[in-house]
Structure 1
């Protein structure tokens, strides 16, 4: 991770107020990052923080319209360093496969991510957060060179 670190902020509708509360409590910290968000979450956060500071958030598409996949692509391209995704485990989502794919990509590309207030607090309280950190790039050579069965 070089230069200004990048954080993606995502929340399901029922978790947007919780993410907003968390961002407001950490506004002094958030202004030090490049921020990305899915469309609806980004708008919600910008509107909900106007009275405490101006957050510059690059908004992508709404999650169900492809925003989760856009965040995932940016993770795979090395453009996002952290993911904060307050997801709702009790509410089925029409784009559940996209949500699972986003979480899989975060794990695959070895980026730290938080899925609730407690994990976000621990992640952003880390003493090494401000340090330069080079994440280990996964080696997919054997996967890419694997033998795929041919059609019978």
Structure 2
């Protein structure tokens, strides 16, 4: 398995930066999984200067971002000739106030991960959670350092889906209803929330209370309402099924939610692919005490 790896300057500039917090927590798992990392120039240089991942032969250096390194990762997410030029997803630790995070290649990296059903991991929490998910699928014992991400009974989950993705969201919730019901609280935007509640009531959820608390629809501000919960550390996981093929009239609201998630990088996990979300639910079942 191979992932692209990039981090904005803030996230590798000091020894306690986000890139190094992730590596300190997950280096054993990275080695256990023999996870290939194709790292853009400055990100690779920062890892080498910190003396991390020494001897990890599947850490590869790519050009600096200004020389096309991030563009090459986008192409490899899509898939290039030869197994060595095929990525299974990307970790891009985003500084929400770094203008390079909205360069075309940065936006394309996320978009192609979504289109191809691959993980796009933009926060420390998401990257840590993904490594633990893959460890569990590999049959490895649970990492007690990742317990915080599986304390579902004390967490809030946000479920959001664009119009074309609502059927997939309802199918996903029906398939993994028991896992999603373990969360202390669930929130959703407008129509998605109503359809999720109807599903829950059909499954025997008490008719006098909602399974998911409904906010406004996305175009009417629901994404911003959920972003506020994320910023206040009152929403720990966001499952956001995006439709990358349509123009989004409320693009700014969606970007606001994505920016909120990256602002609280150590606390918020975000999944944008139905395939990744399903894989996580299976891992949550494997990890259940």
The bucket for the TM-score relative to the shorter chain is 0.7 to 0.9
Partner of 2:275 in structure 1? 118
Q: Is the 8 A contact 2:196 2:211 kept in 1?
A: no
Aligned to 2:186: 35
Partners of 1:42 and 1:123 in 2: CA distance: 21
Describe the shift of the 1:26–1:107 C-alpha distance in structure 2 as closer, same or farther (beyond 3 A). Answer: same
Identify the match of residue 171 of structure 2 among 16, 21, 24. Answer: 21
Q: Could you tell me how far apart the structure 2 residues matched to 1:62 and 1:129 are? A: 34
- In 1: Cα distance, 2:213 partner to 2:196 partner: 11
- The answer to whether residue 243 in structure 2 is matched with residue 93 in structure 1 is no
CA–CA distance in structure 2, aligned partners of residues 129 and 72 of structure 1: 28
Would you say the 8 A contact 1:27–1:53 is kept in 2? no
Higher helix share: 2
Kindly indicate whether the alpha-carbon contact (under 8 Å) linking 1:114 and 1:123 is maintained by their aligned counterparts in 2.
no
CA offset digits 1:14-69 (Å, max 9, x no partner): 10000000000001111111100012210021123432242611111111101000
Q: Name which structure has the greater RCO, CA cutoff 8 Å, separation 6+.
A: 1
**Is 1:71 the counterpart of 2:221 in the alignment?**
no
Q: CA deviation at 1:130?
A: 6.1
Segment drifting more, 16-25 vs 42-51: 42-51
- Return the index of the structure with the highest Cα Rg: 2
Is 1:48 the counterpart of 2:199? The answer is: yes
Q: Kindly state the Cα deviation for residue 76 of structure 1 after the two structures are TM-superposed.
A: 0.1
State the distance in 1 between where 2:270 and 2:203 align.
25
Aligned length: 131
Structure 2 residue 158 is the aligned partner of structure 1 residue 8: yes
Indicate if the aligned counterparts of 1:38 and 1:59 stay in contact, CA closer than 8 A: yes
- Give, in whole Å, the separation in 2 of the partners of 1:57 and 1:49: 9
Instruction: Show the counterpart of 1:146.
Output: none
